[in-house]
Structure 1
Amino acid sequence: MVGILMAGVMACATGENANKFGLVYQGAVKENVKGKVNIKPVKYEVNGIQVAANLYLPANFDEKKKYAAVTVAHPNGGSKEQVAGLYAQKLAELGYVTVAADARYQGESGGTPRLRDYPENRIEDVSGMVDYLTTLPYVDTNRIGSLGICGGGGYTLAAAQQDKRIKAVATLSMFNSGRVRRNGYQDKDVAGMQGRLERAAIAHNKELKGEIQYEGFLPPGATDDELRAQMEKLPVNTLYRDGIEYYGLTHKHKNATGSYTTESFMKLMAFDVEDRMDMLTQPLLMLAGSEADSKYMTDDAFKKAVNAKKKELYLVKGASHIRTYWVPEYVKDITAKLKQFFGENLK
């Protein structure tokens, strides 16, 4: 266990406090250097709420040229400074203009109550990134793709179902938020569905009176030792155990709490990205760890994408869900596959 945690710490050598942009992934941009990938913090609005994002510009960027671009949506409970930023930077290194934004109500973006997690908001956030890219004179609006990670993957699929400005769609370790909130993880708590809805209704009434209730997989204020103790209770290489390690220990960021408002269940449980997968017609790449206990969600959504012009399910050999976020050999494999996919479909 110690070896695993130390490997994660090494992967996060560039910590939030050591990086001027707050980035917490290995190899993150530390400063903007001419001729290399640069990062530009930007702000824009989606439906009147301010969004905070990082715009990544490729090496030797020339504002007079036209570039293909990719949006990157972060996982549930995450932030733009973590895995979304990692893959945004990797794609920028391949020559794409990329944007990784904090979801509204989360991270540095606006919106109250904080940590509200409504599917419609997250879907609009993906299209909002596309909106922003279309305002940039150096972006070719006919060559915009989208990558979504974990929960951001489910919401990216939903956005692409209705937003055909997105010309190619990729997901990594896709998490179908509505299905899990409704049925429990791996569909193991369908019997608890009505109880969760009742709890959400009570939380909604409390919210109307100004009392916000939260829940999530990271106990607020837990020490590192307490988090490690919680991990020991969970099976190795599973989503929630690895999630505690990634979000709570090795790649911790103040804006990534792993929490959401309990009231959000009312909206989340009525959502399921699988319901409209036949509306997705763009080229589709879905990546998942071969050992991920969440792979069933990628498998099921992929099967229902019957109208995708061309689609591929790619398994990252040996990887679990969270390990696709940072383990160097997996990141290298995933980046190579994204290079091929977006290279072919954003020509």
Structure 2
Amino acid sequence: MKKMFNLLVAALVLVFLLGTAAEASDYYTFKLSDQVTRTHVRYKNRYNITIAADLYRAKDLNKLKSHPALVIGPPYGGVKEQGPGVYANQLAQRGFVVLAFDPSFNGESGGEPRHVSSPDFFVEDFSAGVDFLGTVPYVDRERIGAIGICGSGGFSLTAAQVDKRIKAVATASMYDISRYIRDGLGETMTAEQRDKILEKISQQRWHDFENGGVQVKKPSFDREMPLKKVPEGLNPVAAEFFDYYATARGYHPNSIGVFTDSSKMAFMNFPLLTHLEDISPRPILLIIGENAHSNYFSESVYKKAAEPKELYVVSGANHVDLYDRVDLIPFDKLEKFFKENI
């Protein structure tokens, strides 16, 4: 009788945790494998914000056993239906239970005002994912890892600095968003330019306060998209991002490419990745594309982090290729890395 009661309680918990949300998006940038089950889930982070996520598992996964799990965050400005889902779909076929989430204030996740970007909240969202995965009955909570794509690479590593439950971290095309916002891409921002930006944002706060809302720029990738081709005249980096976010390849209506103007203040004031050495002895895998403009972020992390660590270069790949190119993303490498370390 006691065993039957415990099974019933576990089943009720699972229904509560894994219940499909009526308003969850069914628009994805990739095709779900017929070997994988995807379930819409909702849970709270420690700020009581509701996080929207998708849980992926193989259809033939034995739910009576415990399995390793991964939490995956999107590129900066991206959503779960894009790159994180691509990774989750592939890794679920390799035996992992995988959670792909929308960051606080963005996508289908809760939080007001909308489109806020925050180093604290975006790092917290990884730990909140670990909170959730640890309550799934068929997940081994002692075998949870994290993957961060682009901006989430910096957030996942920063979460792992203090959250010992994250047993291993892999990043793909990592961006350090705090460094990017403070110093510009390629460290090109001058002190004078930074001062002007901060002066403008400081004045913007009065405007926001007086008008009862926060300023958000016009979406970079709006609902008039997807475009049939990348606009002419863009610099190479912008063209690369447009090729993904603004065309049918990666366009999603919840991924607009901008945040509130005042969000920059926090990133300029509170840098990420300040205690990388604390991740050791848990391992780090940094995946970069041979032709990626963002490689210096991962190279800096590799120099600063303690062992065990690895910098893995994907031949012929650019930055955005590691969002969705399943022919280039090294899933065999990821599978081996996590199965050996979590």
Amino acid at match of 1:208: F
Q: Distance in 2 between matches of 1:201 and 1:20?
A: 36
Distance across 2 between alignment mates of 1:205 and 1:243: 32
Which residue of structure 1 aligns with residue 256 of structure 2?
Answer: 257
Structure 1: how far apart are the matches of 2:143 and 2:254? 31
Equivalent of residue 32 in structure 2, options 12, 18, 28: 28
Deviation at 1:314?
A: 0.1
Q: Deviations over 1:52-72 (max 9, x none)?
A: 100001230222110000000
* Counterpart AA for 1:279: D
Say which is worse superposed, 56-65 or 139-148, in terms of deviation: 56-65
**CA distance 1:225–1:40, change in 2 (3 Å):** closer
Q: State whether structure 2 residue 81 is matched by structure 1 residue 81.
A: yes
Q: CA deviation at 1:223?
A: 5.8
How far residue 232 of structure 1 moved from its aligned partner, in angstroms, is 3.3
Cα distance change, pair 225–170 in 1 and its aligned pair in 2 (3 A): closer
For residue 193 of structure 1, report the CA deviation from its aligned partner: 1.3
Q: Aligned partners of 1:221 and 1:92: how far apart in 2? A: 31
**Which residue of structure 2 aligns with residue 64 of structure 1?**
64
Asked whether 1:243 is paired with 2:241, we answer yes
Please say if residues 274 and 304 of structure 1, whose CA atoms lie closer than 8 Å, have aligned partners that are also in contact.
no
Query: C-alpha separation between the residues in 1 aligned to 2:206 and 2:63?
Result: 50
- Contact kept, 8 Å, 1:286 with 1:302, in 2: the verdict is yes
**Structure 2 CA distance for aligned equivalents of residues 300 and 255 of structure 1:** 31
Amino acid in the other structure paired with 1:322: V
Q: Which residue of 2 aligns with 1:266?
A: 265
The CA deviation at 1:277 is 1.4
Q: Which moved more, 1:193-202 or 1:254-263?
A: 193-202
Structure whose alpha-carbon radius of gyration is higher: 2
Q: Deviations over 1:166-199 (max 9, x none)?
A: 0011000000000010011111113311122222
Distance, in Å, in 2 between the alignment partners of 1:193 and 1:143 is: 42
CA distance 1:57–1:262, change in 2 (3 Å):
same
Secondary structure of the corresponding residue to residue 53 of structure 1: strand
AA paired with 1:114? R
Q: Which moved more, 1:208-217 or 1:288-297?
A: 208-217
Secondary structure of 1:71's match? strand
Match of 2:149 in 1: 149
Q: Would you say 1:336 and 2:336 are equivalent positions? A: no
1:319 equivalent to 2:317? Answer yes
Q: Does the CA contact (< 8 Å) of 1:59 and 1:95 recur in 2?
A: no
1:201 is aligned to 202
**Partners of 2:77 and 2:258 within 8 A in 1:** yes
Q: Which runs of 5+ in 1 are unaligned?
A: 1-18
Letter in structure 2 aligned against 1:261? T
Considering fraction of residues, name the structure with more helix.
1
RMSD, aligned CA: 2.0
Measure how far apart 1:107 and its partner are.
0.1
- Name stretches of at least 5 consecutive residues in structure 2 with no aligned partner: 1-23
Q: Is the 8 A contact 1:274 1:300 kept in 2?
A: no
Matches of 2:123 and 2:290 in 1, distance apart?
27
Q: Which moved more, 1:218-227 or 1:71-80?
A: 218-227
Contact 1:71-1:145 within 8 A present in 2 as well? yes
Alignment partner of 1:297 is 2:297: yes
How far apart, in 1, do the equivalents of 2:44 and 2:223 lie?
32
TM-score by length of 1: 0.86
Distance 1:21 1:345, change over 3 A: same
Taking the aligned partners of 1:68 and 1:226, their CA distance within structure 2 comes to 40
Instruction: State the one-letter code of the partner of 1:205.
Output: W
Partner residue, 1:133: 133
Alpha-carbon distance in structure 2 between the residues aligned to 1:151 and 1:225: 24
1:259 alignment partner, SS class? coil
Q: Check whether the contact 1:104–1:125 (CA below 8 A) recurs between aligned residues.
A: yes
Q: Where does residue 172 of structure 1 map in the other structure?
A: 172
SS at 1:273 equivalent: coil
Q: Give 2:220's match in structure 1, choosing from 211, 218, 221.
A: 218
Name the counterpart of 2:110.
Answer: 110
Q: Secondary structure at the match of 2:262?
A: helix
Tell me the distance in 1 between the aligned counterparts of 2:114 and 2:229: 23
1:260 counterpart SS class: coil
Q: Deviations over 1:217-276 (max 9, x none)?
A: 8165666669732x53312xx3x2211111111211011111101100110112333322
Q: CA contact under 8 A between 1:288 and 1:298: conserved in structure 2?
A: yes
CA shift in 2, pair 1:142/1:197, >3 Å: same
1: distance between equivalents of 2:173 and 2:105? 23
CA distance in 1, matches of 2:205, 2:241: 27
Once the two structures are TM-superposed, the CA of residue 211 in structure 1 deviates from its matched residue by 3.4
Number of aligned residue pairs: 314
Q: Distance in 2 between matches of 1:94 and 1:40?
A: 17
Q: Find the aligned partners of 1:83 and 1:168 in 2 and give their Cα distance.
A: 20
